[in-house]
Amino acid sequence: MLPGQDSTHRAFDNWLKYSAGFRIEPLLMWQIWALHSHGQETYQQSTQSYQQVEGRPNFQFRRARFGFRAQPFSNFRFTLIGAYDVLGRDANTGTQGGTNNLALPDIGIWDAYMEWRILPEKESMWLVAGYFRPQFSRESITGAWAVPSLEKSMSQNYLRKQLVGYGPGRAMGLNLGGLLRAGQGRVGVNYNLGIFTPQYFTSGGLSAGMLFSPLWVGRIVLELGDPESTTYKINYDLNFYGRRNGLSLGFSGVYQGTTDLFTANYGFQYDILWNTGPFNFDAEHNWLWREGTRNGISPTNRSGYTTGHIRSSINLTLAHKYLIEPSAMLMFFNGAKDALEQADAAALKLSSGSEYAYDLGINWHLQEKKMKLLLHYIWRTGDSGSAGPDAQVNAFFFEPGIGAIRRGNVLGLGLHVIL
């Protein structure tokens, strides 16, 4: 045996050992929608007026995910998920989002992060690193398969674009979080503090620009009664199928300093989740602002908006074997409407005007958290404020690839599946 070889072999005994039964868990998720939209209008430059497009059926993978997750060690786990969302979506369908209709559809990374439990066998301190959602706004950080509405509240789209520059809302970063609860106590705290480096100010997202400031995000949730979860995670549930009687009050804040686009980017919000018996209620209200100049030399301007939603559902058991969940949601967005204030918003790359969406429907749960059928109707209204007739000031008035629109209403049948 070579000198030192025995001590080296003994050192191997202290290496990390894989958890018993460790395996990589595959993950497949779909939201398949059959829709009929009507009432959508597009702005025609030739006539300088809106013209209604023909109502149409549309079949699409609203969301389609694939990937895997694993916990190779007791204090370490990882998740990697890819996506090929909005496959088959017609841009003149009243739902929001882009399209993915080419012969070879776009596929990309949706989540890619690692979680390390700093204090073994405790849930009070986890470090999350990778590509994931900043912990701001319960709606943004709750998975689309967990909400009772057909579509998530699109209030999340406005704040995600402000925080990281685009709708999926992910960015590379670090987050320290955990659960604090004494024994079987009826009061608990879920906390998160993260730092992220979004790169969205220049064409192609290659850099944040000449000037740089990280994005800081903090969130704390006070849980009264039954906990939402006994283990720490960065994805959340809304329906506990009658097993939770509790109230969660969440508060989040976000701040980013000077960049090429603004001198300050910040906001705060609160959210509520209440589960009691068969009844589920969640709501949130977000306030977000930016400060900056229109041309680099004018006085500092400040522009902002409020957005959020109110939603409720109830679990009903029919014939002792069918779980039916009626649900209703109101989504709102309110930004600048005065001409001068809308000019400030445009200079700071913020939406303005107002938008309201209403979702009314019913869900049939075929398997807990894994499979459900949905039948919903969604209708929308919008106000462009003082902007011109072809204004594209918010999501009600803008569709990627088309331009100025007035978004239509949708009757939708969905199948949501997690395998």
Domain boundaries, the chain: 117-413
Give the residue carrying structure tokens 């739902």: 95
State which amino acid sits at residue 345. A
Assigned CATH class of 117-413? mainly beta
**pLDDT per residue rounded down to tens, the chain (419 residues):** 555 566 666 666 777 788 888 899 999 999 999 999 999 999 999 999 999 999 999 999 999 999 999 999 999 999 999 999 999 999 999 999 889 998 889 999 999 999 999 999 999 999 999 999 999 999 999 999 999 999 999 999 999 999 999 889 999 999 999 999 877 789 999 999 999 999 877 666 788 889 999 999 999 999 999 999 999 999 999 999 999 999 999 999 999 999 989 999 999 999 999 999 999 999 999 999 999 987 666 667 899 999 999 999 999 999 988 999 999 999 999 999 999 999 999 999 999 999 999 999 999 999 999 999 999 999 999 999 999 889 999 999 999 989 999 999 999 999 999 99
Q: Which of 405, 407, 395, 356 is nearest to 38 (CA)?
A: 407
Largest CA distance in the chain: 89
State which amino acid sits at residue 369. K
Category of 78 on φ-ψ map: left (φ > 0), alpha (ψ -120 to 50) or beta: beta
Using the CB atoms, write b or e for 225-254: b if 16+ within 10 Å.
ebbbbeebbbebbbbbeeebebbbebebeb
Category of 261 on φ-ψ map: left (φ > 0), alpha (ψ -120 to 50) or beta: alpha
Q: What is the three-class DSSP state of 324?
A: strand
